[in-house]
Amino acid sequence: MEIIKWLPCWKAAGPDKIFNFFIKKITTIHKDLYKIIKTICLDNKQPEEWFFREITHLIPKEISQTGKDYRPITCMSNLYKLTTKCVTAVMQIKVEEKKLISDNQMGTVRKVLGAKEQMLTNIMLNKANNFDLKVAWIDVKKAFDSVTHKYIIKCIERLELPEWITKFLKLITSK
């Protein structure tokens, strides 16, 4: 129920055409949503095909003449997004408990925006060192796309997270 509270109200709805605003407001469905998500995750029940269905919108940039002038936005069903948010929340807790990520990785800390905090930390460190520090930026924009799902699953298996998480990830990456 806590995760529902943090859903963005008016982000693009997926194929279910249901905005999160309504999911938040119609509290009578929350228990049923919990049961569905629990069944998918813990009982490893195969969801219906619509769960994985998506809609891709092509948003034109200012001047659009060729295909590269459009920005694709893929919208999944809200149940899919809610389910993956629940799994992510558990994964974050387990990763924090096992101290698998350095405290310096602010972008992965829960409830921290990341970029602003990192920028402020960099400014303070630089000031403390008489502005003598140098910075190098590495663009990893496409790094995730270059790693196969199979490889990611193998890495997650080595983290010894709960088995249901690995099974769920195998399920969603197989679609």
The answer to whether residue 164 sits within a structural domain is no
Given a cut of 80, whether residue 116 has pLDDT beyond it is: no
* Ramachandran sector of residue 154 (left: φ over 0; alpha: ψ -120 to 50; beta: rest): alpha
For 31-64, write each residue's pLDDT tens digit.
999 999 999 999 888 888 888 888 777 778 777 7
Alpha-carbon distance values, 37 to 19, 40, 55, 74, 133 (Å): 18, 5, 21, 22, 48
Phi, psi (5° rounding) for residue 97? -60, -40
> Which whole number is the average pLDDT over 23-28?
94
Same domain, 7 and 53: yes
pTM of the model: 0.71
The answer to whether residue 80 sits within a structural domain is yes
The answer to whether residue 10 sits within a structural domain is yes
Alpha-carbon distance values, 160 to 77, 96, 139, 164, 166 (Å): 29, 13, 30, 11, 9
The answer to whether residue 131 sits within a structural domain is yes
Phi, psi (5° rounding) for residue 7? -65, 140
46: three-class secondary structure by DSSP: coil
Could you say which of 100, 125, 150 is where a domain stops? 100
Same domain, 124 and 148: yes
Same domain, 53 and 134: no
Q: Which domain holds residue 67?
A: 1-100
Same domain, 108 and 25: no
How many domains does one find in the chain? Answer: 2
In angstroms, rounded to a whole number, what is the distance separating the alpha carbons of residues 121 and 127? 10
